Structure 1
C-alpha cells in the first residue's frame, strides 16, 4: 500500500503548524522565549473645559496602531458621562456626553502603547485638493512668488515640500514669508500653499514621547502624498521622516478636540515608559480569535490556567512515544507516565517520587492480601481505589502533623491511575515475577521523570501555550514515530555476540 497519502498528511501538518507559529510571532509580536521584555508607554490625556451649565458633548481624537507603536489597552475616567468609541473615516474618536454640566470639567483618557518596531501604519488616503483657493491682496502675490521659487528648486512633491518650508525658515525667510506668517498659522499655511501647487497634503497632530514628562502639548506635522506613498515633514525645520519617539495622535487633518456646551477647552498629556514581560504586553492582542490567530487567550483566566497544563500533555506523549518506539523502554500502562509527570509538576519532583513510591509500595502489600480473597476484577479494583484514597489521606495527615507541608501535595496524584498501576504490577508480579515488575516500574518512573523535565521547562510551557500551531507539529512528529518499524535501541544488545564474533 502506498505511503504517499500518509507523508502528504505529515507535510500538511508540519507546514500548517510552522505557518501558524511564525504568523503569530511576526503579526502579533508573540515572543519566542518567556523572559523577553517589551517597552510599553502609558500616555494619559487630560481634557478640561468650562461648562455652560447645560448639556455638553466632548469629541476627542484617539491614537491607532501606527509605525513603531501598537495600542494595547485603553481606559477612561469620566464620572457621570456617557462614553462611546467611534470608528469614522477620519479615524478613531471618543465621544463623552452629559445632560447637565457646570463649572470646570475634567475628563481623562489613558492608553498603553507597545513599542513595536515592525508595526506599520494603516494605509492613508490622500486628501482631496480644494477646488478654489482664494487669497486676498497682497497675500496672493506673496504666495505665488514663494511657490515659484520653491518649484524651481524641486523635482517632486517631497523636494518641493522641503524647499517650500525652507522659504519660511532661517536666512531664506523673506518679506513674503514674514507677511504670510503674520496672517496665517504655519501648518495650515503650508498645506494651503502645497494644495495650490497641486500637492496633496494635510496637517496631522503628534506627541513627542519622553519618559516622565507632564503637561505636554501636541505638535503639528505635515503629511505629504506622492501617488500612493506619503511622507512626514517637520513644518518648522523641513526635516523629512518619522522621528523614533513620535506618536501620531490625529492623522486625518481634523480637530483633535471639539467641545459643545463649554468654553476654554484644553488638552494636555502625561507619559511614562516601563518594561513589561513580552507575553503580558501582547496578551490583549491575542484575545481576538481568527483562523490564523486561534488561541485560548479569549477564555477566562481560570480556564487559561487549566489549558496551560493540558497543552503540555502532547509533549509528554511525544516523550513516551520516543522512549517506547525508538529506545524500547517498557512502562506499566501506555500513558500512565504522562499523568504521573503532570502530578510531579504540581508536587515537585522529589516530593512526587517519594509519594508515588510510598503509595505504590503500600498498595502492593494490601493488594497482595486482596488476591487471597478471590474477588471479582471490578470489586478488587474498586477496593484498591478506596485503599489508595485511604493511603493518600493517611500520608497527608501524617505529613501535616510532622510539619511537612510538601506532603500535602500528594493529593494531586491521579488516584484511579494509581489504583490500576497497583493492580497491573500485582498481576505482573504473580505472572512474570518481581524482575519484570522492577523493569516496568522503573521504566515508568524514568519515563515520567523525563516527561516531567520536558513538560516543566519554562520555554516549553511558553511555546505550547502561546503557539497552538506547535500542537500540529507534535502531531506530525508522533505520526512519523508511529511509522517506525525498525529495531529499538535496547534490543541492539541481542546482537552484541554477533559483533564480538
Structure 2
C-alpha cells in the first residue's frame, strides 16, 4: 500500500506557501485583506497600433496630467526599439516615440497610474488671446444663430448658456439642430457655436473609468472657461461632467494620436482598479523585486482584466468538488456549472437563468427530432452545435427587437459546452427517463447559481486577484476533498431506515 505521508506533506507545504505569499503581499506591499476603506489607484494603459511603412516613424499621443480628483503618480512606456520622450505642449502634455526605421505591424504601450485623491487640484491654464470666430455656410449660420439666440435668452452666464445651447442642440424636433448635426458631431457643433459667441472653449478627450474595461475609446466632450477654471460638459446631455470616474485624458484640443511614417493607426484603452493601503498610495513608486515582476500585476492591463475573471474559476471548482464529493449533488458534466456561472457573471443572474433554460429547452426539442434520424455521433453533435448557435442568434435578435437589452448578453454562453450538455441530457432522457434529466439539470443550475454567488462576492474577488497564494490553498483543499471516501450527505437519506431499525 502506497504511503500517504508525502501527499499530506505536499498539502501542508501548499497551504504554508499560500499563507506565506499572502502575508508577504499584505505586509510588504500593503495590500489590504478586505476591500474596505483604502486608497484607490487606477491603472490605465493605452495600446497604440499601426502599420509602419518601412521608413522613419514618429508617434505622438496626448498624455494626461494631475487634475481635480486624480493625482498622476507614475507613467511608463513599453516600446522596444523606440526612443520615448514626455513633452510639455501648450496646452496639455504629449508622449512621443521615434525610430529611425520600422516596417510592418507595430504596437506601443503607454501606461499611467492615477491615485484617486479628493485633495488633488489641477492648475488650469486660462485661455490666451481672443476667441477665433469660426465661419459657417449660410444655412448653417442661420441655424446656429437661431440656437444661440434661444440659449442666450434662457441663460445668465457662460456656463448656463452652454447648458442651454447643448439642450437646444439635442432637441430632436429642432430643424436647426438637425441641420448642424448633419454636417458635424455634437461636440464639434457645440464648439463652433460657443466660439461664434466669443466664449473660450475647447474639445477634450474623456475616459470613463470602469474596472476591468478593455478596448475603450476616448469620448469627446466640451470644456468651457468660467473665469477661474475649465468646466466639462457632456455634449449628449448638456450636464456638467462631474462624475467621479471621468478622467480628462486629452487636453490638447488638437488631436489624440498623430503618426508619421505609418498608416491605419488606432489607440485603445484598458483600465483596472486596485485598492492600496494609504502607505502605498503616498509612494509614487514601489521598488519592485523579482516576485512582483513575475506576478499578474506586471502584465498589460488588458490581460490583467482577463485574469481577474480567470482567477475566480478555482473558487468555482472548489464549490463543485464540495457539492459532488461531500453533498453528492448530481450535475450534467463535471465542471459545466463553472462555465455556466462564468457566463452568468457577464449576463447577470436572472437573465442568465432564463437564457440557459431557453437554450437548453429548445435544444432538447431539436435533439429529440435528430435522434429519430439515426445520425452518427459526430454529425449529430455538429448539428446540435449549429442549432445552439441559431437559437442564441434568434433569441438575441428577438430581445433587441423587443427592447430587452439584457437579452443581448446571451452570447456569452459557451456554445460548445451547451451543445454537449444538450446531447448528454437527451441520451439520459432516453436511457433513464425525464426524472433523471430534471435531477441532473436542476443540480447543474443550482450549482451554477452557488458558483455565481461565490464569484461575484466582492471579498472573494478581492482576495483571489490580489493574493495569488490563495490559489495554492484552494488547490490543497481540493486535493484533500479528493481523498474523501465516506458517505455523501445525499446517501444518508437512503440508509436512514436501517438506522431507525437499529
TM-score class normalised by the smaller sequence: 0.5 to 0.7
* Distance in 2, Cα, partners of 1:482 & 1:426: 30
Q: How does 1:68-147 map to 2 (within 5 A)?
A: 73=74, 79=88
Say whether the 8 Å CA contact 1:331–1:443 is kept in structure 2: yes
The residue that corresponds to 2:27 in the other structure is 26
Q: Does 1:313 align with 2:313?
A: yes
The residue that corresponds to 2:37 in the other structure is 36
What displacement does 1:36 show?
Answer: 2.6
Q: Cα RMSD over matched residues?
A: 3.3
Q: How does 1:2-17 map to 2 (within 5 A)?
A: 2-17=3-18
What displacement does 1:278 show?
Answer: 3.0
* Distance in 2, Cα, partners of 1:277 & 1:493: 47
SS in 2 for 1:330: coil
Q: Does 1:494 align with 2:491?
A: no
What displacement does 1:294 show?
Answer: 3.9
Q: Does 1:297 align with 2:294?
A: no
- 1:292/1:20 Cα in 2 relative to 1: closer, same or farther (>3 Å)? farther
Say whether the 8 Å CA contact 2:337–2:448 is kept in structure 1: yes
5+ long unaligned stretches in structure 1: 41-70, 81-110, 116-209, 215-273
TM-score between both structures, scaled by the size of structure 1? 0.53
Q: Deviations over 1:109-133 (max 9, x none)?
A: xx99999xxxxxxxxxxxxxxxxxx
Say whether the 8 Å CA contact 1:28–1:285 is kept in structure 2: no
Say whether the 8 Å CA contact 2:39–2:277 is kept in structure 1: no
- 1:500/1:363 Cα in 2 relative to 1: closer, same or farther (>3 Å)? same
What displacement does 1:491 show?
Answer: 0.4
What displacement does 1:495 show?
Answer: 1.7
Q: Deviations over 1:389-408 (max 9, x none)?
A: 00000000001000000000
- 1:404/1:287 Cα in 2 relative to 1: closer, same or farther (>3 Å)? farther
The residue that corresponds to 2:97 in the other structure is none
Aligned pairs, number: 289
Which of 268, 272, 275 is 1:278 aligned to? Answer: 275
The residue that corresponds to 2:49 in the other structure is none
Say whether the 8 Å CA contact 2:31–2:466 is kept in structure 1: yes
* Distance in 1, Cα, partners of 2:363 & 2:403: 24
What displacement does 1:38 show?
Answer: 3.2
SS in 2 for 1:278: strand
Q: Does 1:456 align with 2:453?
A: no
* Distance in 2, Cα, partners of 1:114 & 1:446: 39
Say whether the 8 Å CA contact 2:40–2:276 is kept in structure 1: no
* Distance in 1, Cα, partners of 2:369 & 2:286: 56
* Distance in 2, Cα, partners of 1:318 & 1:286: 34
- 1:289/1:401 Cα in 2 relative to 1: closer, same or farther (>3 Å)? farther
Say whether the 8 Å CA contact 1:325–1:481 is kept in structure 2: yes
- 1:113/1:442 Cα in 2 relative to 1: closer, same or farther (>3 Å)? closer
- 1:366/1:288 Cα in 2 relative to 1: closer, same or farther (>3 Å)? farther
What displacement does 1:500 show?
Answer: 2.2
* Distance in 1, Cα, partners of 2:395 & 2:422: 17
Say whether the 8 Å CA contact 2:400–2:407 is kept in structure 1: yes
SS in 1 for 2:428: helix
Q: Does 1:332 align with 2:332?
A: yes
- 1:315/1:375 Cα in 2 relative to 1: closer, same or farther (>3 Å)? same
Structure index of larger Rg: 1
Say whether the 8 Å CA contact 1:286–1:293 is kept in structure 2: no
The residue that corresponds to 1:474 in the other structure is 474
Say whether the 8 Å CA contact 2:392–2:410 is kept in structure 1: yes
The residue that corresponds to 1:427 in the other structure is 427
TM-score between both structures, scaled by the size of structure 2? 0.53
5+ long unaligned stretches in structure 2: 42-71, 77-84, 90-112, 124-243, 245-272
Q: Does 1:400 align with 2:400?
A: yes
* Distance in 2, Cα, partners of 1:453 & 1:413: 17
Q: How does 1:438-449 map to 2 (within 5 A)?
A: 438-449=438-449
What displacement does 1:300 show?
Answer: 1.2
What displacement does 1:73 show?
Answer: 3.1
The residue that corresponds to 1:410 in the other structure is 410
